[in-house]
Amino acid sequence: MKRRTKIITGILGLFLLLLISLGIYLYITYKSVFIDRAGTHSQPVYLYIPSSSGYRALCDSLFSKGVVSDTVLFHRTARAKKLPENIHPGHYRIPPDITLNRLVNTLRSGSQTPVNVTFNNIRMIEEMARSAGNQLQIDSAEIMEAVNDQALWEELLGHTPDPLAFFIPNTYEFYWTTSARGFIRRMHREHQSFWNETRRRKAEQTGLTPHKVATLASIVQEETNKVSEMARIAGVFINRLERNMKLQADPTLKYAAGDWSIRRVLNKHKTIPSPYNTYMHPGLPPGPISMPEPIAIDKVLNYENHSYLFFVASASRPGYHEFSKTLREHNNKSRAYHRHLNRQRIYR
């Protein structure tokens, strides 16, 4: 009887030991999955999962970046939650304190983090496509194909716009996996939002359409990088337009020549046969010569009301301009600036 009691006690003790061991194992596993940090990274990790990626490529990326420290436990958790069958491409921000459970849930659900897409200082639409393509999964060729998709523009606008006048340079949040047509649709919404009732009313009061405002703004921003001068320069061009004077804007000649490296506009440039040559043709050119920034557009819409009809780069204040009301005064200032260019040995 005593021997039997000892055997039963031993079995119960062993069972209790196994139970305690199982409890410890389950607690450690629970803690490792639901409480502890998944990896060793001390800063956020930005993970990009291309559309072509599978489970193995995802694991390689996670392990190499230190996002996961216990690979065996990750595989177990991932398979239990069916992550291998639910790989979602995208851009994911993985914080240092993320747990294994939250990491797998984030990846399995496709809860990607938006990326900031910035494009500015654009002179050709291909530059915008290249810039956006470098920041998204799509490439520039796909964006250009969408830009040239007349059926898409018919759906959105009813006509095909001038791309340089349509896109508004800025920083936007996108999902990294956004398609080229999704990019265009988003830019359409941003265009509509930018050209709100207030801006459209100001354009109408100026006697310009939004397209013409964008065209003039592109010339203004090529004339100066000083925001403080933009409204005054816009006022000069508005005055000339109202008096049917040719704009005679040097940047339009650089555009017509296809050479933005020109530092000194010469008489030969003024004879370039192009509708963008504002020395030859009155009024605004057919469209923008670059993609106008929002600040340049707003400076045109809020142009300075004055009597100036001329301006020339300042010889004494680099980057700024001298403004004149009469041709005689302007010619004197122009000669001073040309002497300055000669002293700098800038002949073309």
Q: What is the pLDDT of residue 347?
A: 76
Q: For residue 299, is it within any domain? A: yes
Give the CA angle between residues 186, 190, 196 to the nearest 5°.
150
Query: Based on the domain organization, do 80 and 150 belong to the same domain?
Result: no
Q: Are residues 81 and 56 in the same domain?
A: yes
200 assigned to some structural domain: no
What CATH number does residue 62 fall under? Answer: 3.30.1490.480
The reply to whether 280 and 294 lie within a common domain is: yes
Within a domain: 11: no
In a domain, 235, yes or no: yes
At 5 the pLDDT is 72
How confident is the model over 265-276, as a mean pLDDT? 96
Same domain for 298 and 332: yes
Residue 265 C-beta-side C-alpha neighbours within 13 Å: 24
Are residue 90 and residue 134 in the same domain, yes or no? no
With bands split at pLDDT 50, 70 and 90, how would you rate the model's confidence at 30? low
> Do residues 127 and 241 share a domain?
no
pLDDT in tens, 141-169: 999 999 999 999 999 999 999 999 999 99
The verdict on residue 17 lying in a domain is no
Do residue 85 and residue 141 come from a single domain? no
**Domain co-membership, 160 together with 261:** no
Report the number of distinct structural domains present in the chain.
3
- Mean pLDDT value across residues 54-79: 94
Asked whether residue 71 falls in the same domain as residue 138, the answer is: no
Considering the domain boundaries, does residue 260 fall inside one? yes
Choose one of 113, 132, 147: the last residue of a domain.
Answer: 113
Q: Are residues 232 and 337 in the same domain?
A: yes
Tell me what pLDDT residue 50 has.
Answer: 95
Which residue did the predictor score with more confidence, 337 or 189?
A: 189
Predicted confidence (pLDDT) at residue 19 exceeds the cutoff of 90: no
Among 50, 83, 113, identify where a domain stops: 113
Among the three residues 84, 113, 142, which one is the final residue of a domain in this structure?
A: 113
pLDDT band at 25 (very low <50, low <70, confident <90, very high): low
What pTM does this model have?
Answer: 0.89
| Domain identity same for 66 and 85 | yes
Q: What is the pLDDT of residue 28?
A: 56
pLDDT digits over 201-224, tens only?
999 999 999 999 999 999 999 999
My answer on whether 222 and 308 are in the same domain is yes
Where does the pLDDT of residue 344 fall: very low under 50, low under 70, confident under 90, or very high at 90 and above? confident
- Does position 309 have pLDDT exceeding 70, yes or no? yes
- Domain that includes residue 48, residue range: 34-113
Is residue 170 assigned to a domain?
A: yes
- At 22 the pLDDT is 64
* Domain contains 231: yes
